[in-house]
Each structure stands twice: as C-alpha cells, then as structure tokens.
Structure 1
Amino acid sequence: MTDAISSILSQIRAHQMHAGGRLGDAPAGNAISPGAINPGGIGQAEGIKGPGFSETLNNALDNVSRAQNHAGQMQQAFEMGDPRADLARVMVAMQQSSVAFKATAEVRNRLVQAYQDVMNMPI
C-alpha cells in the first residue's frame, strides 16, 4: 500500500513541477529562509507561483476519477465485444483505478488523522 501512496505522491509532485512551480510543502534544503515569509500576510510566500495544495489535491482526485471512468468504459466495451478492449487491458485498467482509489482513501485517512491530532493539541 505504501508503494501506491508513494506513486501517487510522486505523480502529484511531477504534475506540480510540470506546472512550473516549486513544491510549496518542502523548501530547498529542508530549511525556511527568513526572506521567504511575506510580512503582508501569514502563510503567503514570495516567489512561489505554482498551484496550491487544494488545487493539487483536486487534480489528483480528478485523475482518480478519470482512471475509474476509463476502467468502467473499457469494461463496458469488453462486455459489448469491442475487439480493441481485450481482457488484459481491461484488467490492468481496473487494477490501476483500484490502486488509485485505495491510495486516495489512505491519503484522506492520514489527512483526517493529522487534523484530529492538531485539533487535540493543548493550547
């Protein structure tokens, strides 16, 4: 299961890098540079123009949805007797969508757990 999560996370990072932005969650060298914080607002960093966390998460969910739709279409085409939809391709598409969904559910569970941990911290 961790391989699937790593795969999804690497796809998200590749998509984010392809979009032209730096990764917003991991600064270079694992250090926060003092000049990166914008005094005009909390949490706003200068120079980072890539997609935000919510946009990246939405893109990942869209990709999972597309994989499930594609698998469903291939399954239906196989059932209808389409010669382009052979059993091996249908099974691979079904497994890809299953792994993507399980990885998404695991990421959601981890995010919920992290949120609950933060909310239960004493002030």
Structure 2
Amino acid sequence: MDIQATGLLSEMQAMRSELQPLAAPNTAVPQQDFAALLSQAVNSVNGLQKSTDDLRTRFELGDDSVSLESVMISAQKSSLAFDATVQVRNKVVEAYKTIMNMPV
C-alpha cells in the first residue's frame, strides 16, 4: 500500500469517527458552526487541488520521486472532492429555494 493510499485510509477513518455520533440518536452531539464546517471543507478541497497541481508540475519537470500513479490518484481525489463540494452546494441552494418558496 503506498503512502497516499494510507493517508486516504486514515482520512476516511477520521471522517467515519466524526460521523459515529450522528448514527446514535440518543447521544449528545456537540453543535458545530455550519459556516466554519463549510469553510473547512472548501479549504480542504482547495488544498487537494494545490497538492495535485504541485505533483503534476513536479512530474512534468521530470522529478523521479513522483510517479504517474501518484499524480493520477491525487488528480482523482481532488476531482472527487470538488464534485462532492459542488453537489453539497447544489443541495444547499435547492434547500434555500425551497424554504424561500414556502408560504408564510
């Protein structure tokens, strides 16, 4: 297993541990600021894209420590993260429109 796959696995396990309290409705869930959570997610996606750009540049310049596989995996991770962010944005906009169209 390569280093990036291990990092992805640990990132997924961390996300799972964050979601565990949501699965048990009887436990008290600490309140989080939605804007801060959204900002953190966008910054994470931005970091993934910058990392991918850096890896692509290093690969194109002939850096032997960067393999094509690592570049492609990084590109797919950043693409998936961006697509997920767009889907979340679409759902938030859809929910906002639904709320605004409710009769008062």
Give the shorter-chain TM-score range. 0.7 to 0.9
- TM-score scaled to structure 1, two decimals? 0.63
Q: Following superposition of structure 1 onto structure 2, how do residues 51-62 of structure 1 map, counting pairs within 5 Å?
A: 51-62=32-43
Q: State the match for 1:63 in structure 2.
A: 44
Amino acid at match of 1:89: S
Q: Given the alignment, which residue of 52, 56, 65 partners 1:75?
A: 56
Q: Which runs of 5+ in 2 are unaligned?
A: 1-11
Decide which structure has the larger Cα Rg and report it: 1
Checking the alignment, whether the CA contact within 8 Å between 1:16 and 1:51 is kept in structure 2 is no
Greater helix share, structure number: 2
Q: State the match for 2:90 in structure 1.
A: 109
Deviation beyond 6 Å, 4+ runs, structure 1 = none
Q: Deviations over 1:26-52 (max 9, x none)?
A: 88349xxxxx9xxxxxxxxxx94x531
Q: Which runs of 5+ in 1 are unaligned?
A: 1-10, 31-35, 37-46
Q: What is the total number of aligned residue pairs between the two structures? A: 90
- TM-score scaled to structure 2, two decimals? 0.74
Higher relative contact order (CA 8 A, sep 6+): 1
